[in-house]
Chain A
Amino acid sequence: MLTILFDGVAYGMLLFVLAIGLCVTLGLMNFINLAHGAFAMAGGYLTIVMMNRYGISFYWGLPAAFVFSALLGVVLERTLYVHLYTKSHLDQVLFSIGLVFMATAVVDYFMGANQQTINLPPSLEGRVNFLGASIGVYRIFTIILCGLLTVGLQFVLSKTRFGSRLRAAVDDGRVARGMGIDVTRIFAVTFAVGSGLAGLGGALSTGIISMDPTFPLKYMIYFLIVISVGGSTTITGPFFASLLLGVADVAGKYYVPAVGGFIIYTIMVVVLILRPQGLFTRASR
């Protein structure tokens, strides 16, 4: 029972770190970036290459994945995305889904189509007993790391100067600019951090699942479910939505394996019927 809870929470946390960057771009910057999973894939593959080809430790792989994906995010934001901020949502969707297909083909060409995994360092392997339940060390590591990230993000957004500038830039870009806020730079930094978090999530997920070139497409559905259930205007919304979905998914598959795969979609449908604006968002502004 406790094992199931922990597995579910770990899975949910992972979903959260993977999806949070998308929440930021969608909710705060009002930009639909379906290519978000591609940044996660970049981080995941970087970790795999570092560990399997060069024998570098997993602990270095995580920050490297963050930095690599963030840099990739900045470059693409400055060169490509910036032209689409003012375009319609349909253009943004078409553009970013095209980017996904390109990313898939590029990774396929360089890394091959087969699933690739890493071997975790011994300190993260194995299981420990906790209140009579056997829990994977790596899942605990994931929970702690993602928990810290959430607290940190929430703090930055709500308590720091950067956070209030960002919110100002989003609410009314023109006025914010008039007040001397460098909106362009703030958006670039935010986009980079979002991409970096995706990369970190990708690197973390190589420890549980494997990477293959279709990763961005496979996970796009999960990201979108997290955001549609949690709403995209806060960080806490997607956070609780991820946990809910993670736990419901794992528990559902455990207790009623016959319908397990459908539970997360059922939750999404029910939430969208009852609260179309998302579970944790106030009714539309």
Chain B
Amino acid sequence: MRRQILKGLAASAIALAALPALAQETVKVGLILPMTGQQASTGRQLEAGVKAYMAQHGNKVAGKTVEVIIKDDTGVADISKRLAQELVVNDKVSVLGGFGLTPIAMAVGPVATQAKVPAVIMTAATSVIVEQSPYFVRVGRTMPQMTFPIADWAAKNGIKSAVTLVSDYAPGIDAEKFFKERFEAAGGKVLDALRAPLASPDFAAFLQKAKDLKPDALFLFVPSGQGATLMKQVIDRDFAGAKIRVIATGDVTDDDLLNDMGDAVLGMVTSHDYSADHDSAENKAFVEIFKKVNNNLRPNMMAVAAYDGMDVIYRALNATKGDANGQKLVDAMKGQKWMSPRGPMEIDAATREAIPPMFIRKVERKNGELYNVEFEATGPIKDPTHK
């Protein structure tokens, strides 16, 4: 009997909760970002990117008011999952977004699937993520998309042998795997694949090992925001003197850190989809408003992904005429094409995977500051791992 009453109460509670959702004029977007802890710089840039987008486009779209709720998961997957549940159940958000690391996105997947709420992945870069939930849509980029261009470039530019040094976690191992696969397919040889612990403060041993193997190039990958320590030690070990080229994905010469690295990184070649120096009207407008609302901070690849993430949400709401139904929003996000500050962007209609443009860039000094200057566009690259 008592159980019956409880059930009845629960049912009416659910019905009551559903009522305001029908009439609501605000669309809530719940962002789960690492605002403190190891990945805090990533969270900061993501938040700043969202702020820049809202400053530029306002908070009204298709007759609805967009409200952004930011939650700090400190970069820990368990917390992210709990926050996602809270955002869905208590705050009744229509869209989730953010996710600093791969395990975080993985943890949130089941929540998104069960609640039928789209989750926009801005940062996490392991390919497999979007396959974990039909409600995942990625606006960032994946590891193979970042590593293939630099592997191709290396093979074409007289680099015959390479050593890889990556952080020992899923995206790092992906970077190692995809670089080796692509570089060896083009006739190169990877002499050794070194993995440094994620929390390793001293890369000395790994770098010395790489140097002693005498490759033509050293390929690096570390998570965004951690490139400063690595580059400092790379410079200290004098790879240039040993005639070893240092190449990397753009995470290492992150716009957020690059300017402090000093002239020793001049000429370093990396591949990525975004540089604050990208020459287009969209990017100039983005950088200008971003710096204005964010205390003159320079946007990096995280900021642009957050900006594009908001853009996709706005576009989807426009397409559904303000209907915040999860399935309708995801369907509207599929196949979206737009001009991003990075260049032409697309969401793959079949896989919900981002298809960003990719560039080969070289560190140069411009107007007194260090920038990744793009010198070769490789065009959009579809993630090769999705069937």
Contacts and interface: CB of A to CB of B under 8 A. Distances in A.
A257 B41 contact: no
Interface string A256-273: 011011000000000000
Nearest to B233: A208
A250 B41 CA distance: 28
B236 A138 contact: yes
Contact of A117 (B36, B38, B200, B260): B260
A-B CB proximity, top 4 nearest: A113-B40, A253-B205, A261-B197, A115-B228
Interface string A129-143: 000001010100000
Contact of B205 (A116, A127, A260): A260
A218 B202 contact: no
A61 interface: no
A126 B209 CA distance: 18
B36 A108 contact: yes
Nearest to B40: A113
B260 A218 contact: no
Given A208-B202, A208-B204, A250-B202, 13 more contacts: A4-B208, A7-B204, A105-B36, A114-B225, A115-B225, A117-B260, A125-B236, A127-B238, A136-B236, A250-B204, A253-B196, A257-B206, A261-B200
A208 B194 CA distance: 20
Interface in B245-261: 256-257, 260-261
Interface in A195-241: 208-210, 212-214, 218-219
Interface of B: 36-38, 40-41, 43-44, 168, 192, 194-197, 199-202, 204-206, 208-209, 225-229, 232-233, 236-238, 241, 256-257, 260-262
Given A250-B205, A261-B168, A126 B238 contact: yes
Interface in A1-22: 3-4, 7, 11
Contact of A11 (B43, B194, B202, B206): B202
Taking chain B's interface residues, is the majority helix, strand, or loop, or is none over half, making it mixed?
mixed
A57 interface: no
A52 interface: yes
A249 B40 contact: no
A115 B257 contact: yes
Contacts of A4: 205, 208
A125 B236 CA distance: 7
B201 A214 contact: no
Given A136-B237, A261-B168, A113 B41 contact: yes
A257 B209 contact: yes
A254 interface: yes
19 contacts: A113-B44, A114-B41, A114-B256, A115-B226, A115-B229, A115-B257, A117-B232, A117-B261, A119-B262, A125-B236, A127-B237, A136-B237, A208-B204, A210-B228, A210-B229, A219-B201, A251-B205, A253-B196, A261-B196
Given A249-B202, A261-B168, A3 B209 contact: no
